[in-house]
Structure 1
Amino acid sequence: MVLTAEFRLFSKQHPLISIARAVPECTITIEEEDQADAGPIVFVLRVVCGSFEAFETALEDEDSVTEYALISDEETVRIYHTVVENLYPEEIDELVFNKTLVERWWVTSEGEHLKQQFANREELVSYRDSCRKMNMDFQLRRLYESNTDDYRIPGVSEKQHEALRVAYEEGYFDVPRRTSLRDVADVLAISRSALAERLHRGQSHVFEHYFSDRPY
């Protein structure tokens, strides 16, 4: 029985939480994230806040943020490419995190808020215990059985799935191509760079699922 959990994580040492606490009315939505071999984590962040100047100052003041770049500016919303080091200790079993499916993930001054799928209660307990090993407060808000009718390949997020589906329906993958990246982005009401990132991550998960020696 697949379960969906909605929960909050909090740690004063978490860089994204520290940044959100330093900026008025700040909500940071993690659009994409990628980490290889317990190294730095690359985040694509969708940011809504009271002051983008204060947000960028907070990024620069955070020691674990090694680089960032503004990739989209839509007046009230900005999207940043951000590299963060030393977010998780090496002793944490990465498989606990990699085999779960995050449906939504955002950060405020109150902590990390996640909507995430787990294969069963045992997997959820393992995730909770791993968070506590990192001295992160774990507060479960809701737990319910997932609707498994809408099948997605493990690892492909809801937003990646939507991007792939719409791009396919609009003819982006046709030869010759019947639509542009910009046109598909307009259908989804997101930036072209955000769409490109979702398509890239989604296709990577699809290829890994079918061709990797160690699929999800």
Structure 2
Amino acid sequence: MGLIAEFRLQSPDAPLVDVARAVPGCTITVEYEEQTVSGPIVHVVRVECASFGAFEAALEAAEYVEEVTLISDGGAARTYHVINRGPFPKEMDELTLNKTLIERMRVTEDGWHLRQRFANRDELAAYREGCRRMGSRFYLDRLYETADADRTVPGISDKQREALLAAYEAGYFAVPRRSSLEDVAADLDISRSALAERLHRGEAHLLEHYVHDDQY
């Protein structure tokens, strides 16, 4: 059974955090991160902000940035290839061997926000210790244990999932609505109030997991 961990890393030397602070409201999503054999660190970042000119100026002013190249301009978002002066600390090698999968890396003015899957708690503990040895403060925000991370929304219960699926299949969320709360509650053999509570809690988890988390 694997783990999904959502956490923040804070370090005075963390790249891109100063850029996020210089451009209020900037959202930086790290799509790719790698260290070359010769040492430089490469980031491919997707950026959403009100002023790309301000973002580019802040990025080029950062002492650790060696080269910036615009890859694509989608109007509301741009993608950049950034070469940073390296190398990574030697402890990074240990993190590379950690049994984990990075699902999301985002940078805001208060640090790096990550969502990762870990094989087990020992791997999570080793990863956290490696971050600390590199001088990064590790703040765990959420931890979920799941047997099927591809189909399970962290935090949502089986009863909430059952209620959401039943309501969806009955057309409760359709426009126009094809069934009522009473209809779905009868199918599940529960009260109208119990169904309403499960739907509200389930919807709240979905919004938090898929919508709110995207607003870093």
TM-score, structure 1 normalization: 0.64
SS of alignment partner, residue 50 of structure 1: coil
Percent identity over paired residues: 51
Q: State the 1:74 CA deviation.
A: 1.6
The size of the alignment, in residue pairs, is 150
> What is the distance in 2 between the residues matched to 1:47 and 1:147?
33
Who is 1:113 aligned against? 113
Judged with a 3 Å threshold, the aligned counterparts in structure 2 of structure 1 residues 13 and 149 are, in CA distance, closer, same or farther, namely closer
Where in structure 2 are there 5+ consecutive unaligned residues? 152-216
Q: State the 1:29 CA deviation.
A: 0.2
Contact 1:10–1:112 (Cα < 8 Å) also in 2:
yes
Who is 1:35 aligned against? 35
Q: State the 1:40 CA deviation.
A: 1.5
> What is the distance in 2 between the residues matched to 1:58 and 1:149?
37
Who is 2:93 aligned against? 94
Judged with a 3 Å threshold, the aligned counterparts in structure 2 of structure 1 residues 126 and 37 are, in CA distance, closer, same or farther, namely farther
* 1:5 to 2:5 alignment: yes
Judged with a 3 Å threshold, the aligned counterparts in structure 2 of structure 1 residues 149 and 19 are, in CA distance, closer, same or farther, namely closer
> What is the distance in 1 between the residues matched to 2:19 and 2:92?
26
Who is 2:134 aligned against? 134
Who is 2:190 aligned against? none
> What is the distance in 1 between the residues matched to 2:15 and 2:149?
37
Q: State the 1:36 CA deviation.
A: 3.5
Who is 1:15 aligned against? 15
Q: State the 1:83 CA deviation.
A: 0.9
Q: State the 1:93 CA deviation.
A: 4.5
Question: What are the within-5 Å matches in structure 2 for residues 1-216 of structure 1?
Answer: 1-37=1-37, 39-86=39-86, 88-90=88-90, 92-99=91-98, 100-148=100-148, 150=150
Which structure has the larger Rg? 2
Structure 1 stretches of 4+ with a deviation exceeding 6 A read none
Query: Please, what is the CA RMSD of the aligned residues?
Result: 2.0
Contact 2:35–2:88 (Cα < 8 Å) also in 1:
no
Q: State the 1:76 CA deviation.
A: 1.5
Judged with a 3 Å threshold, the aligned counterparts in structure 2 of structure 1 residues 125 and 76 are, in CA distance, closer, same or farther, namely same
